[in-house]
Every structure is written in C-alpha cells, then in structure tokens.
Structure 1
Amino acid sequence: MPRQLAIAAASAAAALLALAAPAQAYPDRPITMVVPWGAGGGTDTLARTFSALLEEELGQPVNVVNRTGAGGVVGHSAIVTAEPDGYTLGIGTVELTGYEPLGQSDMTPASFTMLCRLASLPGSVTVRADSPHEDASALLEAIKAEPEGAYTSSGSGVGGAWHLAVAGWLNSEGVDPLKVRFVPSKGGAPALQDLVAGGINLFTGAPAEAKPLADAGQVKILAIMSPERIDPFPDTPTLGEATGTDWDYATWFGFVGPDGLPEDVRTSLIEAATNVFESEEFGYVHGEPRLHPRRRVRRGVRHVRGGRRDRRRRGHREARPRAVGAPARLASAGRADRYAREGP
C-alpha cells in the first residue's frame, strides 16, 4: 500500500508540474506551406521566396508543398481542411472568388483565415518567339479573322485568373471571348511549356512568369495588362497603348490559413508576414518591384535576435499588416485591377 501511495503521489506531482509548465511558444516545429499551383510558376516562385524569408521570422522551417489539380481546388482544399493550429498554411489566389459561382466548390475567401496580401501581378499577351504577330494589335486582328477555336490560350484553370484575363480583353475589344479556346493548365509554368512546344498560341499570365523564356529568346511579350508600363519591362507597351482598349487586369496572391486559427497564432503570423512583405528581399521577387504602385513603408534598423528577425523603427508608427481583407470584391473581373492596385 505505501508503494502504491508513493506511485500515486509521484503521478499527481508530475501532472501538476505539467500543468504549471509554460506552453511552447508558436511555432515549435516545421510549418507546411501549400501551393495550389505547379512548381516553377509565378505562385510557386512567390511562395518559395516568401517561405524562405518567413523561416527567418519564425525560427522554424517552412516547407513548400505543391498540391495541384482541379483549377486550384485541390490545393486550396488542403489548406481549408487542415487542422487550424498554424502548422499547415498556404498561398491563396484569386480563383477562390470563382469556385462557388462556377459550381467547382463551396469554398470562398470567407472559408479561410486571411493573413496578408503578398503581391499583385498583371496579365500579359505573350506568344512564341517565331509568332508572325509583332504586336498585340496584329494578334487581335488575326483572332478576329480566324474561326472560333483557331487560337488557343492558357495559364490557369477554367474560370481562373488568366482565363478571365483573356476573356476580359476580348470582350473589351468587342470580340466573343469564346473566339479563343481556353486550355486549362496547372499553372503558368506548364502553360508556357505548351506555348513553346506549339500546343497553344497565347499565354495571358504574368509577365514575370514569361520573363525567363523571353530573355532566352523563346517567347515574346507583346503587351502587359497594366494601366501603365512597369519598370522591369520599360519597352513593352501596355495593352491600352497597343490596341486602344481600356482593359487592364491583375490578380492577387495572399498568405492564408484554415478558418479558426487561434488568435495568438494569427497575430504571430500577421506580424511575421508583415515584416517579410516590407523587406527589400521580398519586395523584389522575380526582380520586379511589386509591379503596381504601392505605398512604401519607411523602414528602420533591422537585426536578428533570438532566432527571429526583429526590426526597430525610429520615429515612425508601427506598420500595420496588409491584410487580404474582402477579396470577394474580385468576383467581378472588372474590379480586379483596382483591388490589386489600391488594396482593400
């Protein structure tokens, strides 16, 4: 009996010590970053750059995993159904606003914890280097002259960002959007591979995705769907300059998690994501400084302390996170670019 009492007392003491011990600070183990699109594309490159810098902020590995399929539904589903503990997060894209209207999924932006908007990228009009069309105006006239389906385009899933880009452009020019057949893909990288191989005629994804192939002489970017020329492509006209259209279009990328993240975890992630977003290292992802005019945050001294990157601002207000906020506005493609430029 004394021995049993001793064991019971020891167990009770251990339990009390466990209760009294402080909880492990978040995060205390590696984090998975889910990317709903293929490796090598714009979303993937953005995610890997962001994740590498986020590791410095959080002091834990952030492992990127590509979960592709069904126009981004597979990857976004992996995020939204994950345990809301902060260890499975992901990159959300504008396609989130279209799944419910298109009947692809009941997911909406409200199904997620929106943490920070990371970037906005305009669309482009990109063709093979040996295309006979030297500008977007000539391409448009050829599309008008040919029968429906003679020209094909790709860059995302059906109803996705780059599908809306080409459909909106054609519609603004008075051309039936169905004149160009859209071929769904798992992202910009495979679509560009199809373009170079001759499987499609047109890519309407971000110029950042096409830039390496353009530099290699395999594709040419005829125009950019931005209201003004952008620094990385000073000699490439806007679509408005090329054809006279008033159409411009951009998509957004956000840092998201499953709904129901604990408030302390959410706060930590927003703070870390904000620091990454404001950094010069992330500001020049793809070699392109954020692509749309943004209010720049004045930065103070940054240093490393305790395994996390900290920063001090002298004489400035604490910067607020650029939350994704109400991305459902993007359900209307005509309002997408205003959101991408101005924020919520």
Structure 2
Amino acid sequence: MTHKVAILGASGYTGAELVRLISQHPTIEIAALSAERKAGMTMAQVFPHLRHLELPVLSKIGEIDFTGIDLCFCALPHKTSQEVIAALPQDLKIVDLSADFRLRDPDEYEKWYGNPHAALAQQKEAVYGLSEFYREEIKSARLVAGTGCNAATGQFALRPLIASGVIDLDDIILDLKCAVSGAGRSLKENLLHAELSEGYHGYAVGGTHRHLGEFDQEFSKIAGRPVKVQFTPHLVPANRGILATVYVKGDAQTIHQTLATAYADEPFIELLPFGEAPSTRHIRGSNFCHIGVAADRIEGRAIVIAALDNLTKGSSGQALQNANLMLGEEETTGLMMAPLFP
C-alpha cells in the first residue's frame, strides 16, 4: 500500500531533509510540496542535491488539493503552522515540525512564544512527538507535535533517570552545543560565515530559551512535581549535530544501567560502553542518538552526554518515525541508513 503525503514548507532545511528521507521510503509517495515564496520553482532549483528525484513542483498551500493525501508534514515557522493546520481537512493526519503544538498549556505557549495560541482545538488533540516515549499515543493520533531538537537531545539523556529516581532532581545542569542549521535557512546577520566561523558562543543565557518550556512540561510530568533544569545552549560553526552534556548527582554505574535497561529495545538509541563519550561526527545524517555515561572525579556525580543530528533524529527523521507509526508502517522503515563519515 502506498501512502501519499504533502510537505508544507519544503524550501527549508527540515523540508529538504524530509524529501531526502522519504525518497528512500518504499511505501510513501510525495504528492505535493509547498513553499510560498518559491512557488512555481522545482526542488532542483531550490536544493540542487535533490535534482535526481522526480518531485512535484513547489506550490502555494492554497493550491494543494488534499483529496487522496493521507498525511501532511508541516515544516513551517511557529505561529504560521497553527494557522495553517487549523484550516486543513479534519480527516488529514498531520505531523507538525514547528513549536506550535508542543506545549499543552496555552498559557505556557504564550509565555514562551509571545503570542496567544490561535488553534486551541488542535492544541488539545496534539500528541507530543517523542516517539520512544509516546509510541502508543502517536499510533492513534491525528496531529503529532514534533519536539524541539535541543529538547529531544536533553530528554533522551534524562527521561529514564528522572523516571527511575536515580538522580537529584534539583541539581541538573544541561550544557548543549547546536549546529547552525538548527537556526533555519532564512538569512540572519549573526549566521553569516564571517560572523560565526572560528568560534562559538552561548545564547539565550539565563533560562530564556524556548525549549525550556518542553523540559519543564515533560520532566515535571514524569516526576509528578516541578523539575527545572539549568540549561545553556551554544551555537557552534558546524552544519549538523547537537551534543548535550548533562551534569547530575547520582551513581554513574547505576545511571548507565538505568539507561541500558530503558533503551534495550530501542532501534535508534545507542548506549555506549561505560566511560565512552559520543561525538556528533558519528551520528551525522542518521536517525540515531548516541548516549555515553562517565563518572565525575567528584564522588556522587556523573556526566551523561547525548549526540544526535538536529535535522534528522532531532526533526525530520523523528517526523518520519512518527508518520510510520501513524500510517501503520514499521517504525524504522526508511530510517535505518548509516551515519555519514567522515
């Protein structure tokens, strides 16, 4: 059986990544592609690395006939996404890659994103799209909200530890490095090569990063009480990858065993041997997340490091993983490609 899909916002990095992944999927066919400012152009013109594929011409969303389309990927900016999704057919399955439906509480959305939510009915039905932890809910969902790439990386490192009670919930420090593609494709002065290369810097310092809303929501839900992590992201001059270094209080061997048990049957989560640290170069272009655990020199403290590709496991790969679940396909279909190296 072939499933027909549409990709809205196909001219961005996550849209192009979806096209790349779906081109190798045996049962999903791309029936429509949208890009408002590049309507009428081909994907080969926008992304020459995809010129070998036979793809629909880019169109405006209003020009798409959703009849016969089984699922829609929305790779649109936040705020735009909620308005578009509210107007889509009610029987259409949707995987949203924006931030618009990640937070369940409308007040929390307004707090972190600065404007009232414009699609409250859809927000109520949305399922949080961290596949490994919401698998059963995703299977029956109409609307799935993909996680933030930073939020996904931190959660893979911490969710099992919070759930099992093996770390101090009031002393969690999350230091994260993210590649520049996480900022999107639009032109920004601070992302020019001369502004970014040969250095890296912290941003949203002091607890202002929007993905903290996801950490607060998910970690507090697991623990059954408020949990707030200390979080600082850094922008590094690389195209792809996120590396999250988490400092916690707890026994390192117990932490490693807890993660080993939690991820024993997960096809995309690889726990490294104790003491080994992951690298973004070993997950590039793949849907894998590598996690390492080491004991700190200070007794009773441990370091957990997680690495994933922000465009794949952190966004478009996760979106396809969710779509597989929603369409009744094997979860790993089209996603078991090896990482690119070097």
TM tier, smaller: 0.3 to 0.5
Q: Name which one, 1 or 2, has greater alpha-carbon Rg.
A: 1
**Which structure has more RCO (C-alpha within 8 Å, separation ≥ 6)?**
1
